[in-house]
Amino acid sequence: MSLCEQHLAETYGFSYVEDGGVTAAQGFSAAGVHAGFRADPNRLDLALVAADEPAAAAAVFTTNVFCAAPVQVSRAHLAATAGDGVKGDGPAYGTARAVVINSGNANAATGPVGLERAERMAAITADEVGCTADEVLVASTGVIGVHLPLGPFEAGVPVAKAKMVADRAGGHGAACAIMTTDTIPKECAVTFEGDDIGYPGCTFTVGGMAKGSGMIMPSMATMIAVLTTDAPLVAADAAGCLKRVVDRTFNKITVDSDTSTNDTCFLLASGDAARGEGRRPFEHDSEALDRFERALLQVCTTLARAMARDGEGATRLVTVTVRGAATAEDADRAARTVANSPLVKTAVFGHDANWGRIAAALGRSGARFRQEDVSISIMGLPVCERGLTCPFDEEEALRRFEAPEIPILVDLGAGNEQTTLWTCDLTHDYVTINGDYRT
Amino acid sequence: MSLCEQHLAETYGFSYVEDGGVTAAQGFSAAGVHAGFRADPNRLDLALVAADEPAAAAAVFTTNVFCAAPVQVSRAHLAATAGDGVKGDGPAYGTARAVVINSGNANAATGPVGLERAERMAAITADEVGCTADEVLVASTGVIGVHLPLGPFEAGVPVAKAKMVADRAGGHGAACAIMTTDTIPKECAVTFEGDDIGYPGCTFTVGGMAKGSGMIMPSMATMIAVLTTDAPLVAADAAGCLKRVVDRTFNKITVDSDTSTNDTCFLLASGDAARGEGRRPFEHDSEALDRFERALLQVCTTLARAMARDGEGATRLVTVTVRGAATAEDADRAARTVANSPLVKTAVFGHDANWGRIAAALGRSGARFRQEDVSISIMGLPVCERGLTCPFDEEEALRRFEAPEIPILVDLGAGNEQTTLWTCDLTHDYVTINGDYRT
């Protein structure tokens, strides 16, 4: 947990659950198994997350035109289970009993066959879990343009179900099963008390797992996250919270500017922590819902930062904060251009406080500002004040580059908006991972 | 000369001038010298291009907010010498007698001192060439945020002038003097006949030199091009032609998506090839002006492709053609997103016909299309037909990757617009060049 995460937690009174993940919240169980999508028998490649009862569910999906079959199927399932399901590209919501995810095959660019197989993947899972296929959400990650085999689901889902019954708290296995080029599983959970929000004696948990911006050849990056909570939520409110939080967390990370065809983030809410209150849902616009959203923000911030830190080939987490922007869009545009600049990213790799590259990225970002108003600091060292270079201690800069996290702070001097993006450096290993697989 | 350039030349009846460059057109001389901006005495670092008489001049400059002092000064000089000089960010035009360029220092982010020194750079040159300072255009490339020393100009410009008098055809030296991390100088020239455009017996030449998207630590990429012609042009028409041609050539290359603070492209027209016609200018909207613009397009295409091919660390020139787009903007957006994708670029480096990455880039580009309408071929091999994978011979693909140029062709199936962008692969050497300078 970084200082930033600790600060958030302290501000809002959240406690991190030790080794918490997707099964930390009451009412959920999970498992990860090797089902056969990958050749290596030691590698988990199928994750199953199940809710004991139908859970309020919300999701946000990739905006890529080449959106994968599982994205289309999950969207349709939420629409089918929602009384007033949202259409189009907005956050979808409805009801779900299970999420099934495979790695090793993205089921993208697979046409009608791909849709059919994603439906079968849901149906096989529904049979095991004991629900309708519509109540199953699906996600896939891995190679694209190759048909998804169904055999591993037929073999693997029953095994996962059995494993889940034997050990409900299989969140860690599930987090491992969705990894591609990730080097560590990503999971966390926080709790908050209900006493002062009308739920006396209730302790609510929000947890989740995510896979990072990894790519395993010849597949493509897919960000997938599953979030669970035992807070009692109306699905539409869950969707609203999820959309806002995703915009501030997963949509604020970038490893290589490539948006995947499969990006998916699910949120399931069981309400089980409020059993004593008859699972009375958090009211719309209430203090309780607000508290929940902050906890969700906390969990997603931790997961998103972990994804950026574990970007392909990365040696450093880079946080790019832009302040003083005229609009929120300008802040995002400026931060995103800096965070995606290969010149900035290779400079971090080279331990080079090369602010000229940051300035050049800002200058082409489209954000409105005057060069004589811009100040930049790297790792706390002012390097540019009001558009002009300022001398800094190069030795000290080199020392500060030893830290695992490199903060870049820009003040555009053009207004009051600000944002933070997370990225990583661009290294030889990135080129190796993405360029060398055939050699 | 590639097949594409040959095809253009044959279509329009242009001849390439052997070893032609910025001094191929009548009325221009040039030289490159070591003036002392760089430590290595064997490295040329100051280029001087002079017109015998005041020449019609046009320029396009970087759109980066952090635009460098020489950009601001050259823009002001053109405005001062133009009867009806264009204001703002459009193509500037006026009259010029000389262009002076240094490498090793970009004179960017240097404030009022930088502007003063860029003016001095022009004044020193004006004294040697025998013109007013306003008639001198300036450009700089190299480290940013460091004040430009004036000593090298005081010492080097007279030497360059003397060298130019001794050998008018010093275009090659000038092309070498503006290089940064470029591995080869970039220059070319073509001719066309005036017989059927109202200039009997006149042979017109268009030539030029450019420096590529190189970066030498801790500096930033600067693209600089100087184009000369002995065609008789009104400055405003020269500016119009230049703007249109730059949009189709230099603005269609990308090495790493980073727009420099110093990008500059100058065009000078002496009219000397039409001395027999009293330098009567090509009329607005005439066949002659049209022919000139095509020749300029030819020269800039050759230079732009050379810049992409020589991108930092590049092993391959990649041409990305998008057809069937609904609008020209969509075509550009789609091609640019593919050409800037680090995943696509590392795949080319890895000799991997990984079309999924191209599809993913298209899908996030913002261009409008349906995935079931998209077809993609790589090096002439169809890899995706109407959104679905098509089997291809992997061995054959590996063989074709041996070629120096990798064509990627996309048909969006959404309209009739098309464009071509040039880029290069993303390699270990790119990371080394931009990340390793301190280690």
- Is B380 a residue whose pLDDT tops 70? yes
Quick one: CA dihedral A343, B304, B362, B378, positive or negative?
negative
Picking from B108, B259, B357, the nearest residue to A220 by CB comes out as B357
Tens of pLDDT, residues B303-346? 888 888 887 888 888 999 999 999 999 999 999 889 988 889 88
| pLDDT at residue number A109 | 83
* Mean pLDDT score, B63-69: 80
CA dihedral B247, B82, B120, B65 (to 10 degrees): -40
| pLDDT at residue number A299 | 87
Closest by CA position to B135, among listed B162, B167, B165, B100: B100
Those of residues 188-207 in A touching chain B at CB distance below 8 A are none
Q: Could you tell me if A343 lies within 8 Å of chain B, comparing CB atoms?
A: yes
| pLDDT at residue number A265 | 81
Q: Do B431 and A428 touch (CB under 8 A)?
A: yes
pTM of the model: 0.77
Q: Could you tell me if B221 lies within 8 Å of chain A, comparing CB atoms?
A: yes
Tens of pLDDT, residues B367-379? 999 988 999 999 9
The fraction of chain B above a pLDDT of 70, given in percent, is 91
Using the CB atoms, write b or e for A392-417: b if 16+ within 10 Å: beeeebeebbeeebbbbbbbbbbbeb
- Is B80 a residue whose pLDDT tops 80? yes
Q: Which residue has the higher pLDDT, A51 or A304?
A: A51
Token output for B223: 């693209």
Q: What count of other Cβ atoms lies within 10 Å of the Cβ of residue B115?
A: 17
CA A81 to chain centre: 24
Q: Which residue has the higher pLDDT, A193 or B218?
A: A193
- Measured CA to CA, the distance from residue A86 to residue A239 in angstroms comes to 10
Tens of pLDDT, residues B388-437? 888 889 899 999 999 999 999 999 999 999 998 888 888 888 888 777 64
Q: DSSP string of B399-438?
A: HHTTSSEEEEEEE-SS-SEEEEEEEE---HHHHHHHH-TT
The fraction of chain A above a pLDDT of 90, given in percent, is 53
Q: Could you tell me if A384 lies within 8 Å of chain B, comparing CB atoms?
A: yes
- Is B219 a residue whose pLDDT tops 50? no
- Is A363 a residue whose pLDDT tops 90? no
- Measured CA to CA, the distance from residue A97 to residue A56 in angstroms comes to 9
- Measured CA to CA, the distance from residue A245 to residue B12 in angstroms comes to 57
Tens of pLDDT, residues A57-66? 998 887 777 7
How close are the terminal C-alpha atoms of chain A, in Å?
38
Tens of pLDDT, residues B18-40? 889 999 999 999 999 999 999 99
Cα of B434 to nearest chain A Cα, Å: 6
Closest by CA position to B284, among listed B227, B232, B229: B232
CB pairs under 8 A between A and B: 221
- Measured CA to CA, the distance from residue B410 to residue B17 in angstroms comes to 34
Q: What count of other Cβ atoms lies within 10 Å of the Cβ of residue B184?
A: 12
- Is B256 a residue whose pLDDT tops 90? no
- Measured CA to CA, the distance from residue A427 to residue A342 in angstroms comes to 10
Tens of pLDDT, residues A177-225? 998 878 889 899 999 999 999 999 999 999 999 887 644 222 234 578 8
Lowest mean pLDDT: which of A15-29, A250-264, A283-297, B99-113? A250-264
Q: Using pLDDT thresholds of 50, 70 and 90, give the confidence band for residue B150.
A: very high
ipTM exceeds 0.90, yes or no: no
On chain A, the residues whose CB falls within 8 A of the CB of B341 are: 256-258
Which segments of A48-132 does DSSP mark as H helices, in order?
69-81, 111-129
Closest by CA position to A344, among listed A408, A400, A392: A408
Strand pairing report for A375-378 and A405-411: antiparallel
Those of residues 13-72 in B touching chain A at CB distance below 8 A are 63-67
CA A392 to chain centre: 36
**3-state secondary structure at position A231:** coil
**3-state secondary structure at position A59:** strand
For B413, phi then psi, to 5°, come to 60, 30
- Measured CA to CA, the distance from residue A146 to residue A12 in angstroms comes to 46
| pLDDT at residue number B218 | 27
Q: Could you tell me if B11 lies within 8 Å of chain A, comparing CB atoms?
A: no
| pLDDT at residue number B5 | 64
| pLDDT at residue number B84 | 57
On chain B, the residues whose CB falls within 8 A of the CB of A111 are: 372, 387-388
CA B161 to chain centre: 25
Q: Do A341 and B370 touch (CB under 8 A)?
A: no
| pLDDT at residue number A338 | 92
| pLDDT at residue number A101 | 95
- Is A39 a residue whose pLDDT tops 60? yes
Closest by CA position to B178, among listed B99, B118, B243, B294: B99
